[in-house]
Amino acid sequence: MNVSNLLATKGHDVATISRERSVSDALEVLRERDIGALVVTALNEPLAGIISERDIVRALARQGGAALELTVHELMTPNVSVCDETTSLTSLMGLMTSQHIRHVPVIRGDQVVGLVSIGDVVKARFDELEHEKQELIDYVSAR
């Protein structure tokens, strides 16, 4: 299974926020959408970075409430690990594990066409294993 298969089920919706917006604004979008990360955009730059709940929590622990007034640009991760639609789930799991990341944007050319979380990968892999298990049960039962 590859990322394309996962996106066919999950969808291609990507929540974004401009790098000039406040961290407080980012928190509101995360809450409204019930998600853990946002792709950060800039003028003519569809992937300027990524900001996650974890980034915000760490800033709050360091700076207190003042962190909410920072701009997204000040907290975002600018060098984002990405994948494309042909990336296998095994490769994606390896990337997420080795880089200690929970969200990976999916790119096609210079466009972001999806955002995959570690939860999405685990669910897809679980579904894949359940399907394989059922095939084995069906095979053994047919004997």
CATH of the domain at 123: 3.10.580.10
Q: What is the pLDDT of residue 19?
A: 96
Q: What is the pLDDT of residue 32?
A: 97
CA dist., res. 38 & res. 36, Å (int): 7
**Dihedral angle, C-alpha 135, 139, 142, 143, nearest 10 °:** -160
* DSSP SS3 for 87: coil
Q: What percent of the chain has pLDDT over 70?
A: 99
Determine the structural domain holding residue 107 and report its residue range.
3-141
Pairing of strands 103-108, 111-117: antiparallel
* Strands of the chain, DSSP E: 16-18, 37-42, 45-52, 83-84, 103-108, 111-117
Number of domains in the chain: 1
Over the stretch 50-104, which tens digit does the pLDDT of each residue have?
Answer: 999 999 999 999 999 999 999 999 999 999 999 999 999 999 999 999 999 999 9
104: how many CB neighbours lie within 10 A of its CB? 25
Q: What is the pTM of this model?
A: 0.87
